[in-house]
């Protein structure tokens, strides 16, 4: 992980700084003095000047904007190998000079208001850092895990600093009922019901302190064995233990419920009935909501009409990195020294010239297409989709003449990029904001209904909350429906999300959100229908007379190969009649994504038995956990190729603002890298 990052002038004036660990000031001062003032720059074995500098246990990588006289320095431990720091320097240099270049060119400028650059830098680190060194350093810095509540731990540390930490809480252990020695030796009975033994035969503590004599040779009698068993197993007692044991056996388990913070709340014979309406105002008064603020500017920006649209920092950063690589390639070619280097480059150029202008035959395409198919498989593309993509490329290039000075491999890569672009480009409009605005506007206004489906554990509730935050930024009134009436904790999970989003909307003065729930064990389709009816209630006095503009329906996760569970989606789609049905798929699921997408899509039919949405079933995919797979984003291609349903959103984190729209060029570059 980075220890520090500094932006300073060549004379040593610090313009911006971010520190993750204490770094002596002498480290950066040595870089400024040796490299920029005395011009003693380190060189490699070939005599080329390096952009890295070592001081004590630190490695400093730097780049400079010569026209502005600004230096960008990244400091980290020399034991670490952070290959992504070069990309970080390039991106920071481009973005910083873009934002502050005009001010830096002014005369006598020694101080800048660089506070807004903090968010940009944090976003760059999250994007470019591979995470391996970051997780390791964070795990090392956390120290031992604290098993006591924060309040008690803090008070204990204040009272006695030198007191050792409390021992870890032991895991619950379930003891098997002890079997009496009489049953062991007299096991000839055919009665299946075990004979109850006295409470004193199950001591709570071992009776190892009682000394017994060793048995003599030969087999003891039954009476002696019984007496020995009574002596060793029954400790001296006054009778209190047996009464306590009887009370413990007759006591029933206390009913327990869990609050929104995850703490157990003991109730006195309280029935866990979640169908009753919760008094949210009372809960709000008892406990202040503590939720971290979300920087909406990192998620999107507002247009001239006031709409909040998603943006993606990756587009600008990737363009900066791509342009820097194109500038480095000519320099590295010119830097080839010696007879061997020049001869190799000439032979390579001659070979490329020879293959240019060739008419491609099937024999010419077999091996390159096989390599391309293996490349797609490594990118997590399903074999079925990879094979059909290669077949379409072969049909496009067969008997075609390659361009001059172009190899067969580059021709195939260009054709494959075009094929991937055709697949991922939506054939219909994905402007969700326009659809919502049109639906809730007169003359026939009604709530816009969106349903989220998917297999277990893909992040349906999390991505539903991200969409809700996106809609709140556009001043919509959102009703979240707890349609997962099966999984334990599903209602409580949505209640926490709605509570946090309500607090965020209150702070930012945007939109309105509420939770619609009817507890567990109810029919999900009926709950969804009632929620839509509730949102359409014309008794509301705000806006167009409806209580809510958008209804977001959460559903229970289910295995795509379970026919019984999947069949209930048909009834759900017909009763709720959602405008959009989004399926959440994992970016790391692999080739099973094809079967998941097809099985879910075929369940959404109308009353006439025809697939909705012009025969494709669903309206879009939400690919979650895209921040965990790097450039292996083949799941996008697999699911779209199998169903013809476009990708609408990408989940890139666990915060409410970590939602992005799909950039086709970004996905194609990742797949062809």
How many whole angstroms separate alpha carbon 159 and alpha carbon 225? 56
The whole-number pLDDT of residue 314 equals 60
CA geometry: angle 593, 594, 596, nearest 5 deg = 60
Reported confidence tier of residue 670, pLDDT bands at 50, 70, 90 = confident
What are φ and ψ of residue 591, in 5° steps? -75, -15
The whole-number pLDDT of residue 555 equals 93
Average pLDDT over the chain reads: 75
pLDDT tens for 206-242 read 444 444 444 444 555 666 666 665 555 444 444 444 4
Name the more confident of 381 and 51: 381
CA-to-CA dists, residue 524 to 361, 465, 520, 574, 622, angstroms: 57, 19, 9, 12, 22
- State yes or no: pLDDT of 315 exceeds 50: yes
For residue 655, how many C-alpha atoms fall within 13 Å in the half-sphere facing its CB? 14
Q: Look-up: residue for tokens 């952009």?
A: 51
- State yes or no: pLDDT of 78 exceeds 60: yes
Reported confidence tier of residue 575, pLDDT bands at 50, 70, 90 = confident
Calculate what percentage of the chain has a pLDDT beyond 70.
65
pLDDT tens for 255-310 read 566 666 666 665 544 555 554 454 544 444 445 566 777 777 667 767 766 677 77
pLDDT tens for 366-412 read 888 999 999 999 999 999 999 999 999 999 888 888 777 677 888 88
- Residue 460: CB atoms within 10 A of its CB come to 26
The whole-number pLDDT of residue 565 equals 87
CA-to-CA dists, residue 646 to 261, 558, 653, angstroms: 37, 22, 21
CATH architecture, range 432-672 = 3-Layer(aba) Sandwich (3.40)
The whole-number pLDDT of residue 386 equals 92
Q: Look-up: residue for tokens 């002696």?
A: 224
Q: Look-up: residue for tokens 């064995």?
A: 225
pTM, two decimal places: 0.59
CATH architecture, range 1-155+309-327 = 2-Layer Sandwich (3.30)
The whole-number pLDDT of residue 338 equals 45
Reported confidence tier of residue 39, pLDDT bands at 50, 70, 90 = confident
pLDDT tens for 422-468 read 999 888 778 899 999 999 988 889 999 999 999 999 999 999 999 99
The whole-number pLDDT of residue 309 equals 74
Q: Look-up: residue for tokens 């490299």?
A: 35
Tokens linked to 657: 């603002």
Q: What is the 3-state secondary structure (H, E, C) of 549-603?
A: CEEEEECCCCCCCCHHHHHHHHHHHHHHCCCEEEEEEECCCHHHHHHHHHHHHCC
The whole-number pLDDT of residue 5 equals 93
The whole-number pLDDT of residue 127 equals 80
b/e 46-59 (16+ beta carbons within 10 angstroms → b): eeeeeeebebeebb
Long-range own/partner contacts, residues 170-179 (CB < 8 A, 24 or more apart): 177/202, 178/202
How many whole angstroms separate alpha carbon 517 and alpha carbon 305? 35
- Residue 465: CB atoms within 10 A of its CB come to 25
- State CA 22 to chain mean position distance: 30
The whole-number pLDDT of residue 30 equals 86
Of 183-192, 257-266, 268-277, 515-524, the range with the lowest mean pLDDT is 183-192
Calculate what percentage of the chain has a pLDDT beyond 90.
25
pLDDT tens for 467-504 read 999 999 999 999 999 999 888 899 999 999 999 999 99
Name the more confident of 221 and 348: 221
The whole-number pLDDT of residue 401 equals 82
Reported confidence tier of residue 317, pLDDT bands at 50, 70, 90 = low
Q: Is the dihedral of CA 513, 516, 519, 524 positive or negative?
A: negative
Reported confidence tier of residue 166, pLDDT bands at 50, 70, 90 = low
Q: What is the DSSP string of 281-329?
A: HHHHHHS--------HHHHEEE-TTS-EEE--HHHHHHHHHHHHHHHHH
């Amino acid at each position: 992980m980075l220890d520090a990052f500094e932006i300073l002038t060549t004379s040593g004036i610090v313009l911006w700084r971010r520190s993750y660990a204490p770094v002596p000031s002498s480290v950066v001062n040595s870089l400024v003095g040796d490299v920029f003032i005395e011009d003693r720059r380190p060189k490699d074995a070939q005599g080329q000047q390096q952009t890295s500098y070592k001081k004590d246990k630190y490695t400093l990588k730097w780049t400079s904007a010569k026209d502005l006289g600004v230096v960008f320095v990244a400091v980290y431990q020399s034991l670490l190998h952070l290959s992504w720091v070069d990309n970080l320097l390039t991106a920071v240099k481009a973005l910083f000079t873009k934002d502050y270049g005009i001010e830096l060119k002014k005369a006598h400028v020694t101080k800048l208001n660089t506070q807004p650059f903090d968010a940009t830098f944090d976003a760059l680190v999250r994007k470019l850092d591979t995470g391996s060194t970051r997780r390791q350093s964070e795990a090392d810095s956390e120290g031992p895990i604290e098993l006591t509540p924060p309040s008690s731990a803090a008070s204990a540390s204040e009272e006695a600093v030198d007191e050792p930490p409390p021992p870890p809480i032991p895991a619950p252990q379930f003891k098997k009922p002890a079997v009496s020695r009489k049953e062991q030796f007299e096991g000839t009975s055919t009665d299946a019901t075990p004979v109850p033994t006295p409470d004193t035969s199950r001591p709570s503590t071992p009776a190892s302190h009682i000394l017994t004599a060793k048995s003599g040779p030969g087999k003891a009698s039954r009476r002696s064995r019984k007496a020995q068993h009574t002596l060793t197993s029954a400790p001296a007692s006054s009778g209190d233990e047996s009464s306590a044991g009887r009370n413990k056996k007759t006591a029933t388990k206390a009913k327990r419920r869990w609050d929104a913070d995850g703490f157990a709340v003991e109730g006195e014979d309280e029935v866990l009935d979640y169908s009753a309406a919760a008094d949210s105002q009372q809960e709000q008064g008892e406990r202040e909501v503590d939720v971290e603020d979300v920087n909406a500017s990192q998620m999107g920006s507002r247009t001239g009409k006031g709409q909040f649209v998603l943006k993606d920092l990756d587009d600008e950063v990737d363009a900066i990195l791509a342009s820097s690589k194109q500038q480095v390639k000519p320099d590295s070619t010119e830097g080839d020294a010696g007879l061997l280097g020049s001869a190799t480059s000439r032979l390579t150029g001659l070979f490329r010239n020879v293959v240019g202008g060739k008419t491609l035959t099937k024999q010419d395409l077999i091996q390159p297409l096989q390599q391309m198919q293996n490349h797609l498989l490594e990118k997590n593309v399903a074999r079925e989709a990879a094979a059909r993509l290669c077949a379409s490329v072969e049909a496009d290039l067969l008997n075609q003449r390659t361009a001059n000075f172009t190899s067969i491999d580059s021709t195939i890569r260009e054709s494959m990029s075009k094929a991937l672009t055709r697949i991922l480009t939506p054939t219909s409009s994905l402007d969700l904001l326009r659809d919502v605005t049109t639906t809730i506007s007169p003359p026939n206004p009604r709530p816009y209904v969106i349903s989220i489906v998917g297999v277990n554990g893909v992040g349906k509730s999390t991505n539903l909350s991200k969409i809700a935050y996106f809609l709140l930024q556009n001043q919509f009134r959102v009703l979240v429906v707890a349609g997962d009436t099966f999984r334990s904790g599903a209602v409580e999970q949505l209640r926490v999300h709605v509570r946090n989003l309500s607090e965020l909307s209150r702070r930012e003065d945007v939109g309105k959100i509420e939770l619609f729930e009817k507890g567990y064990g109810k029919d999900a389709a009926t709950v969804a229908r009632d929620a839509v009816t509730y949102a359409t209630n014309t008794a509301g006095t705000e806006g167009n007379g409806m209580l809510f503009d958008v209804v977001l329906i959460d559903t229970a996760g289910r295995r795509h190969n379970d026919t019984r569970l999947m069949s209930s989606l048909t009834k759900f789609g017909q009763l709720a009649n959602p405008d959009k049905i989004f399926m959440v798929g994992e970016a790391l699921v692999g080739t099973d994504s094809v079967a998941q997408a097809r099985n879910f899509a075929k369940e959404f039919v109308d009353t006439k038995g025809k697939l909705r949405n012009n025969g494709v079933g669903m309206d879009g995919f939400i690919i979650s956990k895209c921040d965990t797979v790097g450039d292996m984003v083949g799941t996008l291609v697999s699911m779209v190729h199998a169903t013809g349903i476009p990708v609408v959103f990408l989940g890139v984190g666990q915060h409410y603002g970590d939602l992005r729209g799909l950039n086709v060029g970004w996905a194609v570059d990742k797949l062809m890298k």
